[in-house]
Amino acid sequence: MSLVGTPSSIAESPNDPIIGWRRASPRMLGLMLGIMAICVVAMMSLRLGSLELSTTDAWNGLFHYSADSYEQTVVRKLRLPRTIIALAVGGALGVAGAVMQGVTRNPLAGPSILGVSSGASFAITTAIFFLGRTAPGEYVWFAFAGALGASALVFMIGGAGRGGTTPIKLALAGVVISALLGAWTSTLLLLNEETMDAVRFWLAGSVAGRELDTLWSVSPFLLGGTLGCLLLGHQLNVLSMGDDSARALGMHTTRTRLIASTLVVLITGAAVSVAGPIGFIGLATPHIARSIVGPDYRWILPYSLIIGAIVLTAADVAGRLLTKPAELQVGIVTALVGAPFLIWLARQRSVAS
């Protein structure tokens, strides 16, 4: 069909429903499919596990709960919380990873390069070391504070010296702070066996055995941060053209990076304080999203949210089935699958930032 076109094609109205359908972005369709996929995965997470139960049990456990049924109790009190947590944490880590990769223009960036995970781990270990075992609900705030504190430190160090905050300096500062906090955490764990026993469960990174209340406590940060990130699509597209081009277009690159990174820290800090450090979701999800929708961050971000939620929940379900009747923690499953997956992805296509 030539650009000049015949009078009849020029006369086609954009409001023509048939044209409207064709113009409707396939990406939008993809998003809706993604949301449906989330529902499917969530239902699978209620239905499947180390205990055999029927789809009826899963359905009733959710909508017509009766405490007399052991199977329904398992669905509602064990599987439902972990499904919700997996969806929330997975989505959060996916978006955070995408933003991080956009901000640093580094395809190997993940949400934890700002020291968030090591900060949270260090804070929790220190709290237990000095205060003894406390209720899990209190760990959340220590972890969150630690996450924020470590990131602030990374920013201070990354921004010191000439040139302000550059991606390379941030990444280096993140590596240094993570290594330092990791060493201090290990020292505390070795000094006191009781701390080791209380903390090692949290440090493994898992969505099982975590209380839903901790998720509700940090949900304002999770929701606010995620919404903020989703609005950053256009800024990230501009940043991806390079700092000089971005400045030429009128963007204040340092301020944009600061805002974006703060949002990432809020999201990741909240996620890590609920579920502990879980690797690979933040790193791999944006690549999957990119392979579906291309380099436009306005689409990569919402897709990362959905894909992250699906992947983490699916990993949790896999962990329940692979070693029945025991369970594999979700952090282990993501590591097992994530590493070869990334290698495959890197070989499939040139990794675009």
Note the residues at the interface with other proteins (CB under 8 A): 49-51, 70, 73-74, 76-79, 190, 192-194, 197-198, 200-201, 206, 208-209, 320, 325-327, 329
Q: How far apart are CA 178 and CA 147, in angstroms?
A: 11
| Tokens found for residue 345 | 């992805």
Q: Which is nearer to other proteins, 197 or 213 (CB)?
A: 197
Q: Are 68 and 314 in contact (CB under 8 A)?
A: no
Instruction: Output the six-digit token pair for 125.
Output: 């270990």
Rounded to a whole number of angstroms, the minimum distance from the CB of residue 182 to other proteins is 16
| Residue whose CB is less far from other proteins, 12 or 197 | 197
The dihedral formed by the CA atoms of 153, 159, 161 and 164, expressed in degrees to the nearest 10: -170
Minimum CB distance to other proteins smaller for 74 or for 281: 74
Nearer to other proteins, 204 or 351 (CB): 204
- Cβ contacts of 115 within 8 Å, gap of 6 or more: 150, 151, 153, 154, 173, 174, 177, 178, 181
CB nearer to other proteins: give 198 or 309: 198
| Minimum CB distance to other proteins, residue 126 (Å) | 18
Alpha carbon distance 192, 202 (integer Å):
16
Q: For residue 251, how many other CB atoms are within 10 A of its CB?
A: 17
Residue 233 C-beta: closest distance to other proteins, Å: 38
> Please, is 301 exposed, middle or buried when counting C-beta atoms within 10 Å of its C-beta (0-12, 13-18, 19+)?
buried
State in angstroms the smallest separation of the CB of 189 from other proteins. Answer: 10
Q: How far is the CB of 316 from other proteins (least distance, A)?
A: 12
Smallest gap, in angstroms, from Cβ of residue 73 to other proteins? 5
Quick one: tokens of 180?
């330092």
Task: Please say which residue, 46 or 246, places its beta carbon nearer to other proteins.
Answer: 46
In the chain, the N- to C-terminal Cα span, in Å, equals: 34
What is the residue type of 251? M
